[in-house]
Structure 1
Amino acid sequence: MPTPNWPAQTGDVSFWYQDIDGLPSPRPPLNGDTEADVCIVGAGYTGLWTAYYLKKAKPELDIVMVEAEFAGFGASGRNGGWLTGTFAWNHERYLSTGGAAGVRALVDAMGGSVDEIVRVAEAEGINADIHRTSELLVATNPGQLVRLKEEIQQRRQWGEAERIRELNAQEVKARVQIPGALGAMEIGNVARIQPAKLVQGLAKVVEQLGVRIAEGTRVTRLQSGRAITDRGTVQASIILRATEGFTATLGGSKRDWLPLNSAQIVTEPLPEEVWAQIGWEGREIVGDFANAYCYCQRTREGRIAVGSRGLPYRLGSGIDHRGTPDSVTIRNLMQILQRHFPAASNARIDHAWCGVLGVPRDRCATVGLDPKTGIGWAGGYVGVGVSTSNLAGRTLCDLTLGRDTDLTRLPWVNRRVRRWEPEPLRWLGVRGMYVLLNAADRQEAQGGAKPSRLARLGYWLAGH
């Protein structure tokens, strides 16, 4: 039975659009066959940033963007609002394409994306509720604390020493009241944003620069020089795929990147007496070191948004129905809210939603352009696409224009990975991984000085 504070609204994309008075007015679809210099498939952050930098570099370019729904429909308008610039992948897996120096250069470039996004937003007059702050990843049991220390050591080794600081229990308590917090990893130079405001603002800017955005236009297949849609064919010498978690919907691409599901809830605005108990005056973006981790923010108007993995994966690389989460996922999110922020336990939940993100087989993001076919791509962000998409867009711009730059030499460029297994193997692998991760979290919550071995088995099962 739903609880009295069960979400007032579910799905219909995300709360972030409710926060800006509803979904944007639709742009016209493609009206038959057309030609362009560049065709960008997908009008989310990746596609929009790419179009922005291309137009700034070469204003005369004729660019057409085709989008199945509307600009910002996918993860760009549904995410947790974390602008981090952090490196979320396995550093060692990039060594084969860049060496240690190349990996550190990639880490540095990722970190610089935060300042770049803030710069563009200010220059273009995009009000996205950007609040510069830090990221706190909290450990609430000994097993998590071990992972915290290992993560700090790993990040310092790969060039993030100046951004990283370990906090003890008292220091965490002074920032935000999370029961049982034993410590935290603080990451500097991050920001909280309102995702829909950023993507809608960016879409307006690129349109003003002369980019044609065709919404309600579904691409069914990509060929060299052609993007075939249900509204006509776009002919262009360069075709850039910026579909992230929706890549599996393209013909022949079901096994390229896994559409992994994530979900969120958001509370009503909380009264001052509740905030007095929670603290959180720095508006840090907050997560934890659970294996099935969470991500939270304190919004502009004093709500708490809580996200975590939802129903992790649908058989056959299926996609959610317009962001509607299942009831089990909603209950899990409410339990996270109650566990980390008990003062808000009785708050009304105003909205619950979900969406997919792109996961490569080795869980490492890539960007590239095949000079033989003229087809480029970017994605596989595994949940940190707000900042990474900007770096990807700048890199795709340089690749499209044939430039040899520091960005085009980074080790994620033109890096290919093997495809996911056919069904039902990938369904069994991903579901099995999350069964083991959740079991590991339950085991760690009961005590013990070391992380559960079940988590390592789960990650091994899915190739993480």
Structure 2
Amino acid sequence: MSFWYRSSGIPEPGPRLDGDLRADVVIVGAGLTGLWTAYYLKKARPALDVVVLEQEFAGFGASGRNGGWLTGALAGSHGRYAKTHGEDAARALQREMYATIDEVIAVCAKEDVDAGIVKGGELTVARTSAQAGRLRELVADARATGLREEDLRVVDPADHLRVAGAVGAVWTPHCARIQPAKLVRGLARVVRDLGVRVFERTPVTSILPHRAITPYGTAEAQHVIRATEGFTSQLKGLRRQWLPMNSSMIVTEPLPAAFWDTVGWQGAELLGDLAHYYIYAQRTEDDRIAFGGRGRPYLYGSRVDARGNTHDWTVEALWQLLIDFFPAAASSKVAHAWSGVLGVPRDWCSTVHLDRDTGLGWAGGYTGHGVTTTNLAGRTLRDLILGADTELTALPWVGRKVRAWEPEPLRWAGVHSMYRLYRMADQRERSMTRTSALARLADLITGH
């Protein structure tokens, strides 16, 4: 289980489904997508009968295991959304992502959800000449797509925090630190208080038009919403829909004030880098570093390690990276490690969809950017379910059609080749001034 649950407590699952039922809306999955959708539906139409079905407990999956980034970053590229819907639509999606950060903060304040939220921005560092080149490209692309200096600007990394070997950095205010388990558990409490029926320990084995099938009964509704993200591959007929990708994290012991003074990490900035095998980090509420990256990225046949076991070599690799970033942390040690699974579509772009004929809808494929995107998805699904024509339903990720991933063994070979090439590219770029051709080959293989 994640450090977030170890520190806040693992919840006791609620009652399971006991027999068939009918409702207006049935949501499969009690992570952030499902809970935000339930929240906004009940707020808009209190009389709606909304049911959520969850195979473990609310927040069991990625919603309670992620890196704690409430970020405005999009899953996929601006260019891919612009290609299908135009520049204006792609810019509108980015602006909605930025606004969604403040929406989450506002709802947490209104509903008394203490998720440890601090909007401290995000620092992305370059630690090689090749990464510095990608940093310049990132800024140029941001300006070309309408992002202003106030949205993303070049900074001296030492003005924010001192990362060993950093040669450049950009900073954006559009990111907040959260404690993920507190957010999802607080939201689960809120939706229950609104009258949403949440059935835990109730795995859904199949989703059909207007029906969700479980071992304990069938839930029927006008609309059935799939909110299963990385666990989607476990549903009948959806093994190739989204790739279940693993991401791993470690967290240090609490670090003394002298450490934070040494590295200059005095605020709640989130930290990332421009390596291909990239990292993500936060300073936790209790003065630890939570540090994440890719471990064992994919299991053959789209299998899912639901318990989040983390291999020793992954823990050691993340620890070595952490002390490479912050040598002053070497006197500490790893206090906890865990893994989670995220959903990756074939084009690496998120999707929201509702089929009015079958009543089936879904949202997901967040590729690791889900904490913010789930809220936008919940509000968008609300509008689609209620039949409202709004600015949200016009966004370019709505109704996006994506082809399935290749059959095995191509899927396994492609993903593992991608990450091997990325690791090799990062090694080579230590002595290069430009992005390695190996990384470009990895991008070509997987369409990343």
TM-score, length-normalised on structure 1?
A: 0.95
1:297 lines up with 2:285 in the alignment:
no
Give yes or no for contact 1:97–1:412 (8 Å, CA) kept in 2.
Answer: no
The residue aligned with 2:7 is 19
User: In structure 2, how many angstroms separate the alpha carbons of the residues matched to 1:235 and 1:339?
Assistant: 53
Comparing 336-345 with 205-214, greater Cα deviation is found at 336-345
Match of 1:459 in 2: 443
Q: Which runs of 5+ in 1 are unaligned?
A: 1-12
Secondary structure at the residue paired with 1:131?
Answer: coil
Deviations 1:312-356 (A, max 9, x none): 100000111411111121111101111111111121211100011
Amino acid paired to 2:385: T
Alignment of 1:8-407 (within 5 A): 13-20=1-8, 22-161=9-148, 162-167=150-155, 171-407=156-392
Letter aligned with residue 200 of structure 1:
R
Q: Which moves more between the two structures, 270-279 or 138-147?
A: 270-279
- Deviation, structure 1 residue 429: 0.3
1:436 aligns with one of 414, 421, 426? 421
* 1:271 Cα deviation after fit: 1.1
* Contact residue 37 and residue 61 of structure 1 kept, 8 A: yes
CA distances 1:18-71 after superposition (whole Å, capped 9, x unpaired): 111x21121000011111000000000100000000000000000110001110
SS at match of 1:415: coil
- Check the 8 A contact 1:164/1:187 in 2, yes or no: yes
SS in 2 for 1:237: strand
Contact 1:395 1:407 in 2 (8 A): yes
Shift, 1:156, TM fit: 2.3
* Residues 321 and 400 (structure 1), Cα distance of their counterparts in 2 relative to 1, 3 Å cut: closer
Distance across 1 between alignment mates of 2:247 and 2:51: 30
Question: Helix, strand or coil for the counterpart of 1:132?
Answer: coil
Aligned positions, number = 447
Counterparts of 2:136 and 2:173 in 1: how far apart (Å)? 17
Q: RMSD across aligned C-alpha pairs, in angstroms?
A: 0.9
Is contact 1:97-1:415 (8 Å) kept?
no
- C-alpha contact 1:107 1:158 (8 A) present in aligned 2: no
**1 CA distance for matches of 2:75 and 2:152?**
14
CA deviations over 1:113-159 (Å, ceiling 9, x no partner)? 10000000000000011011110010001000011111111122223
Q: Helix, strand or coil for the counterpart of 1:263?
A: strand
CA distance in structure 2 between the aligned counterparts of 1:231 and 1:184, rounded to whole angstroms = 53
Q: Which of 446, 450, 453 lines up with 2:434 in the alignment?
A: 450
Query: Does the alignment pair 1:423 with 2:437?
Result: no
Q: Is the deviation greater in 421-430 or in 174-183?
A: 174-183
Between 257-266 and 318-327, the greater mean CA deviation after superposition? 318-327
Structure 2: stretches of 5+ with no match in the other structure = none
